[in-house]
Structure 1
Amino acid sequence: MAAPAWSRLVRFVAKEDAKTYYGEPDQQGDLGLLYAQGERITARPLADQSSPWTSSPSSSSRSLTVQRLLPPLAPHHVPSIRGMGLQYSADPTKPQPKPDVAVVFFKATNSLAGPGDAIVLPKLADGEKNDYEVELCVVLGKDAKDVKEDDAMSYVGGYCVVNDVSSRGLCAKGVQWGMGKSYDTWCPLGPCLVSPEALGADPHKLTITTHVNGKLAQKGTTADLVIKIPELIARLSHGTTLPAGSLILTGSPIALGRKAPGDVVDQSPFMRDGDDVRCFVEGCGTLVNSVRDEAVGRGRIKAKL
């Protein structure tokens, strides 16, 4: 795969003409925090807007003002979202054995959301332990099928932060997890896509955290991933084509103070209306989202699956 035309990629609505662009941001530092703080961000649109994987050079003749940051990939450029479960041990001092069959689930592409978007808790999920899950997201830059582990990293087009929003209650009630993970806005992604070269670090040595209302609720390192990225790509592509743009959600460490994901503890409370949720992945930045509960001030319904 030819190297992409960008080091960091954003997708944004420009203030100047209200059009949507892929572009390379001009500012250094944590774009997610800059955006959340209302700082001015500018970006140079890619010369070829048809695909984020273009090798055409970025336009250097102009920079446009970012009015709104969007998910770094448009939904039509995300053919699938595969998530990985049980990728971190509940007790870091006791390594979790590698499973013979990986725990894989799917999220719908309609669940994508961007930096600053509200995570909307639908009435069906009211009281169902709706949770945050910070993860390193691997984005494939070219089609992958029957990939060998030794070649797997050459298929990686970029990395970003993802919050794999999950309803612990609804996931526990069903025989699969899709119902409790695929509501609109339940896959916040961003703040930008970082190329492997720009990451400048081993993706298996990154600190990841979640802060809720300024309080640390999750902390881990990708060094503790049970199945590492090359093996993930090899396993997921076995007999299956993973098109360019496919997202692999690599897994999330258990929240602080919990022994099981659904435990109720003060140290890492489940999401509530008005919460400020900040997911951070070292080298990728901070993804900031608010929480809005549809059931607040309205009629409530009990979940029936």
Structure 2
Amino acid sequence: MKFITYEFGRKESVGIIKGDKVVSVEDIANCMSWEKPQSMIELIEKYSEDMLKKIENVIKKKVDLKLLSLSDVKIKAPIPYPKRNVLCLGKNYVEHAKEIKITRIAGTGIPEEPIYFTKIAAPAIGHEDEIKFSYEVTNQVDYEVELAIVIGKDGVNIRKEDAEEYIFGYTIVNDVSARDLQGKHKQWFKGKSLDTFCPMGPCIVHKKDIPFPVELNIKCSVNGELRQNSNTKNLIFDIPYIISDLSKGMTLKVGDIICTGTPSGVGMGFEPIKVLKDGDLIECSIEKIGKLINKVKVI
């Protein structure tokens, strides 16, 4: 099941994708005499396996449901305003760990422990939104396609074998990064937190539709040129490890978003480096989730 946040008639709603259509969760809630969620996070908070089965039954029966064409709605980031910063991992694919050198922050060695950082998304931008930046701020903007985990319930000190229990689903995040700011500041926060630097979406795919362990093809192209091409089975620290390790002494909350790292092929890995420029079209894709497409606009 694919959940989206969308805008139609100036109203923001949460919906479920069925083929090339979207059905409003509000309509489904009315059929179920269920209190309608006002946002994706509220939906996740109310979620249960039993509720999911009921939703599927209502959609199959198509009782009093208004179907909208996906082409008629504006798809937004699934969680436009995360409650907390987006949690991220650096250097979590071997070949990417080897290729990074320009940031002058970390060497090219393979990490023995996860490298965590956060980025601001206020808001996260959606599918077909523009990534905007000014050359007065940065001249080295880069892309990073990443599989993102959406946490489904609060948890602390989670065991690796219980990790999937705390997942609601998965989405795509483009961890857009200003490499010159990363090097200048000797850390990653500011360079990854500029406005519009967190494209997310186009949807959240529920975990039941993606077998565990998660082994999905992950790709990114710029102007049709394939730059990144790997599989999430190549993560150095896999999803159970990440969830368990992050939750040690730190409660993971409903709606938390964890970006699991990017494979090799980022712009800074080329000689000379390939920075993003005005008009560039970035297509991030992950098997079973879809495509997240954004255009660059220099302002």
Q: Normalising by structure 1, what TM-score?
A: 0.80
Aligned pairs for 1:31-180 within 5 A: 41-46=21-26, 47=29, 48-50=36-38, 51-53=42-44, 54-55=46-47, 56=51, 57-58=54-55, 60=62, 61-65=64-68, 66-75=72-81, 77-90=82-95, 97-100=110-113, 102-127=114-139, 129-180=140-191
Which residue does 2:275 correspond to in 1?
A: 270
Structure 1: 4+ residue segments shifted above 6 A: none
2: CA distance between counterparts of 1:154 and 1:236? 15
Which residue does 2:102 correspond to in 1?
A: none
Residue 13 of structure 1 contacts residue 68 of structure 1 at CA under 8 Å; is this kept in 2? yes
Which residue does 1:33 correspond to in 2?
A: none
Pair 1:185–1:92, CA change in 2 (3 A): closer
In structure 2, the gaps of 5 or more residues are 30-35, 99-108
Pair 1:182–1:25, CA change in 2 (3 A): same
Deviation string for 1:7-65 (max 9, x for gaps)? Answer: 11011012xx421111111216xxxxxxxxxxxx4323242223121335546522353
Aligned pairs for 1:128-277 within 5 A: 129-199=140-210, 201-255=211-265, 262-265=268-271, 269-277=274-282
How many residues align structurally? 265
Pair 1:92–1:74, CA change in 2 (3 A): closer
Q: CA deviation at 1:146?
A: 1.1
2: CA distance between counterparts of 1:168 and 1:195? 33
1:27 aligns with 2:19: yes
2: CA distance between counterparts of 1:78 and 1:143? 13
Q: CA deviation at 1:173?
A: 1.2
Residue 26 of structure 1 contacts residue 44 of structure 1 at CA under 8 Å; is this kept in 2? no
Residue 216 of structure 2 contacts residue 231 of structure 2 at CA under 8 Å; is this kept in 1? yes
CA RMSD of aligned residues (A): 2.4
1: CA distance between counterparts of 2:173 and 2:181? 20
1: CA distance between counterparts of 2:230 and 2:83? 27
Report % sequence identity. 30
2: CA distance between counterparts of 1:89 and 1:124? 33
Q: CA deviation at 1:133?
A: 0.2
1:289 aligns with 2:283: no
Structure 2 letter corresponding to 1:135: E
Residue 45 of structure 1 contacts residue 63 of structure 1 at CA under 8 Å; is this kept in 2? no
1: CA distance between counterparts of 2:97 and 2:121? 32
Residue 268 of structure 2 contacts residue 274 of structure 2 at CA under 8 Å; is this kept in 1? no
